[in-house]
Structure 1
Amino acid sequence: MISFRAIALLRARISRLLSLTTRAHYFDEARHGLKCPSYPRLHKGILSWNDHATIRRDEVKAVVTQIEEVDGPNDEGAMFTCLSKLCDNSLQPHANEQAATKARHKIELETEERKLPNSSMAKPVSIEVWNPNGKYRVVSTKPMPGARWINLLIEQDFRVEICTQRKTILSVEDILALIGDKCDGVIGQLTEEWGETLFSALSRAGGKAFSNMAVGYNNVDVSAANKYGVAVGNTPGVLTETTAELAAALSLAAARRVVEADEFMRAGLYDGWLPHLFVGNLLKGQTVGVIGAGRIGSAYARMMVEGFKMNLIYYDLYQATRLEKFVTAYSEFLKANGEQPVIWKRASTMDEVLREADVISLHPVLDKTTYHLVNKQTLSMMKKEAILINCSRGPVIDEAALVEHLKANPMFRVGLDVFEDEPRMKPGLADMKNAIVVPHIASASKWTREGMATLAALNVLGKIKGYPVWHDPNKVEPFINEKARPPSACPSIVNAKALSLPVSKL
């Protein structure tokens, strides 16, 4: 485990090279008692920003070496945990929320460590226990935002165990230790590989339900879950606007070169206004292209059309009728007010979008047909100054080909929230000034993440209690309305049909 001393050392020396030193990231400064470092100025005698960046990168490597000398080699996820302490932890369950939960239910909060049975090699897994005498046992493999999800489980006589292990990704052995000999359900994360081993263990422990705290479930072998009769839940219906907002934010940041300008200012290089300083692209009147006009793709398209008066071209296997009606109505509004109307077009092929659009946002599902959808060939079809945004799934882009394209086309820009080999980036991507990269935070708004936690908990609760499956998983407002008791139903079970689960008629 990396010590607090090591964290302080890293905090004092790390630079913008790891994209973590903006002042906005240090909301929890008082909690940790560490000063927020200003962005370092150029080293004495160094006039080139590239030379300066090389020096800073070497310094960061030296700091990591010091940490390893003090604390030993870092296990999987330890460095991320260290860096996470430097970032905003405002979405973690707050102490006052936990205190309120404890007071409300008059329960004891326990801390335990658990090892895999009959395994002296397994490392202890740290957990927090809520309502230790509860009738049903549910495990959450990560602390989740908010306290409502805990309250809802406790009210139905659930013992809630939350893994507090400081690892980004839990191993199969870690999760087996959490499941133990008796477990009714598990709330997991998309960073975990749920397959035959885990579902068989959960079934042997009497488990009936597993839910991802995510809308996607590429990490889940649903056929294995079916084999062992385990319901698999996910959390759709609360990510649409939040994810679309981040895609729009990346589009604007790329068009106006916001990140480059921010780094420039923090480096102390600004000497005054200049006519050619960080000139970007005006979005008004340009064409936004959407590949995959489902809920998120359509929400993004509406934001870009209405917010920036952009024209629209989209490609989808199905006609986006509501989106088309929206753009048509908005165009009529502009025309009635003496402004240039916007136009829309449904492309017959994806290539048509790539050739015509100035800003392209990817929103497809990930399957064999969309793997490396964007590759060397398709990148060559795009405009030299195009902007590419991906908040869907990392493997839809051939990341190595993207790096080469960014090198060859410095005015081409990209904004990425997901990566092909997450959490790693392909070599060279982090060095690209024309790339904006953020750590899979498209759903990271307080309302959305708390809603996801609530839906995941209710999926597990509902299956264990024998509730039917909700009739429309995309209409989950009744479940996330904090002023009302949620319906007696499972919000979203992806293998409901395979398990012949009843459907709610509410």
Structure 2
Amino acid sequence: MSKVVVTGRIPEAALELLRAEHDVDAWDGSESIGRDELLARVAGADAVVSLLTERIDGELLDAAGPQLKVVANVAVGYDNIDVPACRERGVIATNTPGVLTEATADIAFGLILMATRRLGEGERLIRSGAAWKWGMFFLLGSGLQGKTLGIVGMGGIGQATASRAKAFGMEVVYQSRSEIDPAIAAELGARRVDLDELLEISDVVSVHCPYGPATHHLIGDEQLAAMKETAYLVNTARGPIVDEAALAAALRAGLIAGAGLDVFEKEPTVHPDLLELENVALVPHLGSATVETRTAMATLAADNALAVLAGEQPPTQIS
């Protein structure tokens, strides 16, 4: 039996798969595992099933030892993994694409509705106990029908978000490194544009691109200034794609109308200026947070680890 280290709490269904074939050391603390504890636990591991809260770098790979065969990330994003360092050591890295597409698109569109219809402001008002009364101009928001959604990064989640936008009567434009399948583009009524045009014409900009050096602060002062004053920004990808300080300044100055964020630059910390603003909806990284999705993610990660340990090709290896 091989040694499998699981760096955080995952659904029992995935642990049962791993325990049926291997010796599993799973962290079950309510808080994230400390770095020193993690480095000690991975020593001698043949597989590491990691959460996005753990940094998988050369130090950790070396602490595990040369017998380490696979790092199976329980996330579609893998900016927490030093993939080149894995390749250098012959360690296969995997992620969990596809299984969280619909859940994350739901959150993206939920944030679009929260921001454009001022739902967070309304709920805070009710809970505060303050007096309120219906009126023609009370907490007016913005409708979506006939408006343009600009999607930055048209992968699976971007496409699923576009599908929801179509159902709401929105036009869709997108910016991506490559064109999507023409049949899918036709079905969604989606048109590819460059980022500058997308920012200029969109009523809502939704971020879905991967995070890396090329997309760090992709949305900053210049990009926010290029958006319509009536536009909204939504980010359900990775926090550092958006410059939070620049976003807070733009929201305060009225350069854009509002925003919705599920991810943050330095999670779990949120930029204090954002916390003071009413025109931004903030939720704590809930994109994949359904029982069904988290179970599917963990199970896929377990399947990836089991495949590599059996000498087989994992279902979703990071290329």
Query: Is 1:175 paired with 2:175?
Result: no
Distance 1:439 1:269 in 2: 26
2:237 is the alignment partner of 1:392: yes
CA contact (8 A) 1:375 1:397 kept: yes
Please tell me whether residue 316 in structure 1 is matched to residue 182 in structure 2: no
Work out the CA distance in 2 between the residues paired with 1:312 and 1:393: 22
Q: Show structure 2 runs of 5+ residues with no match.
A: none
The aligned residue for residue 339 of structure 1 is none
Match of residue 99 from structure 1 = none
2:303 and 2:315 in contact (8 A); partners too: yes
Q: Distance in 2 between matches of 1:261 and 1:171?
A: 39
Q: Where does residue 154 of structure 1 map in the other structure? A: 19
- Distance, in Å, in 2 between the alignment partners of 1:296 and 1:411 is 24
Equivalent residue letter for 1:264: L
2:8–2:27 CA contact under 8 A, matched in 1: yes
**Hey, which bits of structure 1, 4+ residues long, moved more than 6 A?**
none
Instruction: Give 1:253 shift.
Output: 0.9
Q: How far apart are the structure 1 equivalents of 2:191 and 2:47?
A: 47
Answer yes or no: is 1:142 the counterpart of 2:5.
no
Partner of 1:53: none
SS in 1 for 2:213: coil
Structure 1 residue 255: Cα displacement? 0.8
TM-score where L is the length of structure 1? 0.60
Q: Does 1:213 align with 2:77?
A: no
Say whether the 8 Å CA contact 2:57–2:82 is kept in structure 1. Answer: yes
Answering whether residue 279 of structure 2 is matched by residue 434 of structure 1, we say yes
Structure possessing the higher relative contact order (Cα contacts under 8 Å, 6 or more residues apart): 2
Give the partner amino acid of 1:153.
Answer: L
Structure 1 residues 229 and 426: CA distance shift in structure 2, 3 A: same
* Cα 1:309/1:151, change in 2 over 3 Å: same
Tell me the SS of whatever aligns to 2:65: helix
| Paired residue secondary structure (2:24) | strand
Q: 1:288 to 1:261 in 2, by over 3 A?
A: same
2:113 to 252, 266, 273: 252
The residue type equivalent to 1:283 in the other structure is L
What do you get for the CA RMSD once the two structures are aligned? Answer: 1.7
Report if the CA contact (8 A) 1:203-1:229 is conserved: no
- Structure showing greater radius of gyration is 1
Shift of 1:411: 6.4
Aligned to 1:368: 213
Secondary structure of 1:361 counterpart: strand
Percent identity, aligned pairs only?
Answer: 37
Whether 1:227 aligns to 2:92 is no
Q: What aligned pairs does 1:157-306 form with structure 2 within 5 A after superposition? A: 158-168=22-32, 170-180=33-43, 182-204=44-66, 206-306=67-167
Amino acid at match of 2:19: I
The aligned counterpart of 1:131 is none
In structure 2, what is the Cα distance between the partners aligned to 1:211 and 1:280? 43
The residue correspondences of 1:345-424 to structure 2 (distance < 5 A) are 345-347=191-193, 349-409=194-254, 412-424=257-269
* TM-score, length-scaled by structure 2: 0.94
Q: What is the aligned partner in structure 2 of residue 87 from structure 1?
A: none
> CA shift at 1:248, angstroms?
0.5
Query: Separation in 1 of the partners of 2:23 and 2:212?
Result: 37
AA at the equivalent of 1:171:
G
- 2:304 alignment counterpart: 459
After superposition, the Cα gap between the structure-2 partners of 1:324 and 1:493, relative to the gap in structure 1 and judged at 3 Å, is: closer
d(CA) in 1 for partners of 2:127, 2:272 = 25
Report what 1:54 is aligned to: none
CA change 1:224–1:318 in 2 (3 A) is closer
Contact 1:390 1:417 in 2 (8 A): yes
SS of the equivalent of 1:325 reads helix
1:4-30 Cα offsets, whole Å, 9 max, x none, are: xxxxxxxxxxxxxxxxxxxxxxxxxxx
Cα contact 1:185–1:207 (8 A) shared by 2: yes
Decide whether the 8 Å contact of 2:98 with 2:156 is kept in 1.
no
Distance 1:494 1:317, change over 3 A: closer
